[in-house]
């Protein structure tokens, strides 16, 4: 539970580098996510290229933090792997994205989930920039790096939002 409780959306990163080995662990965590009927429809673009990060940062007013992150992870849905209707992949990719964020916290790094889908402009811009096949749909971008601030626990439990039904 430590990773869950210390995970925060981090948008300010130091200049320290994250090793490729740590990034692989982070991606492995994403691939451990549950998926409906075990389709595992995810693919990932993992980049620390300045041009890529700058292009992603320009996609929305909320994505500017990607410029200073060490890495950006573009989480994609491969619709060729997912022959079901178009609804379940959203849950699959959400689970993969959250697993990545939890592993980032486990590695004492900072990260933030940047929504791309369903914003057609962002999806189209990412698809065009990375020259993606139409079966690959950008779902999210995760900025990853060493946080300038310490991830501190903030208790978000709100008993008024829990509706107990007991015998």
pLDDT band of residue 82 (cuts 50, 70, 90) is low
pLDDT band of residue 98 (cuts 50, 70, 90) is very high
Report the pLDDT value the prediction gives residue 125, as an integer from 0 to 100: 98
Say which CATH architecture domain 2-161 belongs to: 3-Layer(aba) Sandwich (3.40)
What mean pLDDT, rounded, does the chain reach?
94
The answer to whether the CB of 44 falls within 8 A of the CB of 74 is yes
Give the residue, 151 or 134, on which the prediction is more confident: 134
What is the mean predicted confidence (pLDDT) over 67-89?
86
Report the pLDDT value the prediction gives residue 86, as an integer from 0 to 100: 66
Q: How far apart are CA 35 and CA 38, in angstroms?
A: 5
Q: Any idea where the domains of the chain sit in the sequence?
A: 2-161
Residue whose C-alpha is closest to residue 52's, from 149, 146, 138: 138
pLDDT at 84 over 70: no
Alpha helices by DSSP H, listed for 32-135, are 50-57, 89-106, 120-129
Report the pLDDT value the prediction gives residue 93, as an integer from 0 to 100: 97
Report the pLDDT value the prediction gives residue 2, as an integer from 0 to 100: 84
Give the residue, 69 or 80, on which the prediction is more confident: 69
Q: How far apart are CA 80 and CA 101, in angstroms?
A: 26
* Residue pLDDT, tens place only, 48-71: 999 999 999 999 999 999 999 999
pTM: 0.94
């Amino acid at each position: 539970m430590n990773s869950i409780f210390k995970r925060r959306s981090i948008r300010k990163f130091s200049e320290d580098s994250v090793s490729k080995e740590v990034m692989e662990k982070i991606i492995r965590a994403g691939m451990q996510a549950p998926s409906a009927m075990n389709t595992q429809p995810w693919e990932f673009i993992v980049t620390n290229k300045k041009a890529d990060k700058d292009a992603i940062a320009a996609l929305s007013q909320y994505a500017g933090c990607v410029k200073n992150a060490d890495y950006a992870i573009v989480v994609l849905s491969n619709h060729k792997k997912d022959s079901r209707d178009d609804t379940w992949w959203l849950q699959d990719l959400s689970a993969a994205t959250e697993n990545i964020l939890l592993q980032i916290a486990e590695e004492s790094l900072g990260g933030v989930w940047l929504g791309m889908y369903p914003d057609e402009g962002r999806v189209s811009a990412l698809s065009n920039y990375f020259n993606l096949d139409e079966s690959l749909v950008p779902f999210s971008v995760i900025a990853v790096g060493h946080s300038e601030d310490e991830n501190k626990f903030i208790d978000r439990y709100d008993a008024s939002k829990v509706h107990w039904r007991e015998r």
